């Protein structure tokens, strides 16, 4: 019984941490690390935020717990074309990449539930 309590405590503590994302599949932006690093800071932030929302949108219910679906800077979206362009491109790229990775159509990954 005590082992069960320790396991539950460990599970709860681990689930509240962003460190759990290290064990998830890599985000598709790894192919563009050099290009993102050479871009402006607004472009890099836009790509990171757009991919985060895209992964959250296309993921199944389990993975939605690890990705933020509200990662967008409204001020930068309206004032920085670099941020806006990067966010939109990353969103579309990551949502499609995630749906392919899960082996389903783009709508199946959103409404299909657990796989």
Residue 62 lies in a domain: yes
On whether residue 26 sits in a domain, the answer given is no
Q: How many domains does the chain have?
A: 1
pTM as predicted: 0.61
What confidence score (pLDDT) does residue 115 get?
47
| Residue entry with tokens 């082992």 | 3
Q: Is residue 3 part of a domain?
A: no
The pLDDT value recorded for residue 94 is 84
Residue 25 vs residues 20, 67, 69, 74, 102: alpha-carbon distances, Å: 11, 12, 17, 28, 11
32 is a domain residue: no
- The answer to the question of residue 80 being in a domain is yes
pLDDT (tens digit per residue) in 68-98? 677 776 667 778 888 888 888 888 888 887 7
Count the neighbouring beta carbons within 10 Å of the beta carbon of residue 10.
Answer: 10
Rg of the Cα atoms in the chain: 16
Whether 66 maps to a domain, the answer reads yes
92 in a structural domain = yes
Residue 83 resides in a domain: yes
Residue 102 belongs to domain spanning: 39-115
Instruction: Return the higher-pLDDT residue of 104 and 83.
Output: 83
Q: Are 24 and 15 in contact (CB under 8 A)?
A: no
Q: What is the per-residue pLDDT across 22-57, written as a single tens digit (0 to 9) for each? A: 555 556 656 677 777 788 888 888 888 888 888 777
Predicted pLDDT at 66: 67
């Amino acid at each position: 019984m005590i082992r069960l309590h320790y396991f539950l405590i460990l599970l709860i503590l681990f689930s509240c941490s962003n460190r759990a994302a290290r064990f998830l599949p890599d985000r598709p932006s790894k192919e563009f690390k050099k290009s993102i690093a050479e871009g402006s800071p607004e472009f890099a932030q836009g790509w990171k935020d757009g991919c985060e929302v895209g992964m959250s949108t296309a993921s199944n219910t389990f993975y939605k717990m690890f990705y933020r679906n509200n990662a967008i800077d409204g001020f930068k979206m309206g004032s920085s074309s670099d941020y806006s362009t990067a966010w939109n491109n990353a969103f579309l790229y990551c949502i499609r990449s995630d749906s392919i990775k899960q082996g389903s159509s783009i709508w199946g990954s959103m409404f299909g539930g657990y796989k």
